[in-house]
Structure 1
């Protein structure tokens, strides 16, 4: 049985594999995909492999080996986290009763792959990219950075998984966005929302000097709320209240897409309608 992994360790693992500039958050953990983890791991493993350390001084070799082991640990941690999450999704229904669901189909990544009639719900799963209704969502700077980031042949081409999806997952499995694009949008979403300390001060839960103490005591990758609880400045209930208001006040995923001119309002509405139809169908099963 998989052990529960702390949020701090998950954040640390994401920063090791994906880079410290990613602004890892709970939302990013929700959108983690096995393919993205493996791709990031291959890149980091090549960068930190001990074979690259030949000829270096002993202290540098030791540091390099420690980085390589950290990459290995981060990779195994994130895969274990996804296995645990997938097990919970498969084994438990809405009311906690045991319930088996088919695993989501693997991504075929075949040129010209089309969807077929779904035997589970009797409805045809239309994919916007293949039908040409909505163009793939590609960030402007991605086309300048690397052709591989903007290559539409690398987008998912297959059926929607037969399970409840987040909106970003829906975009990914509809062949409209890759995981890097989704991660960037999540970063925008996080940076534009009110900070937890700001909300705590606004609600009268702590003073400005207490916020400074929390920030000074906070370790890398450790959430603000967790540090505040450790210092006895905020209670667990207060942190939950603050997180609820923070999430409620942040911009919606689709709103950011429209504001960044990545899709139009009519396109967003069409996507939301299909997204809601899918989740309603999965809930009824």
Structure 2
């Protein structure tokens, strides 16, 4: 890590954890759940809607923006900090791990039976590819998650970045290819920076897929924790192999990669 990168991460920590003694050790000990809690507290504290005094609105908006950027920076750091295993041992690790899913398969639904793809995966697809849930269950979980996620237009109106007339214009501009946010940017109603902040905030507010799977008895909480750890190991293996292949120019066979540390995937419903 470069000194400049470390300084940026330290500043981000001071933004989200103002009462903490921010050191390199503090940075190394940050966990995903504590980061999310700190970010949510700052959102409640500096949210533009919480400002009754017009004179303080600009100051709160700036602090809110800095909190969002600090969370994004630290979240990327946590992803890069995850452990690595040698890629060729992925299937061995998967085969040797105990199957903790105690629920029976749903009749007439499609279950995957094949090798694990050598790409980074999200938890829903990972559970499908290890045979824990059906393809139909993945689709239902994603639809449930989408329906509970606050629409971008609603968030933008709450923050007074858009008005109801703007939302109607964006929805009616079907000739413009893209999502709601992409249309808003193309119409000049939102900036690219505003869209990124909205998308990040929207993701932090959505319910995780794991909660749906446990609530609908498709997985036990214990098995979900187990698969989350496996997923962290799998994605770390893929990332490590990609980095080494890139540094080797893709011409050398990668040998003797070893486990480098403990994983950071204990949050049950990520």
TM-score, normalised with respect to structure 2: 0.50
More contact order relative to length (CA 8 Å, sep ≥ 6):
2
The TM-score, its normalising length taken from structure 1, stands at 0.47
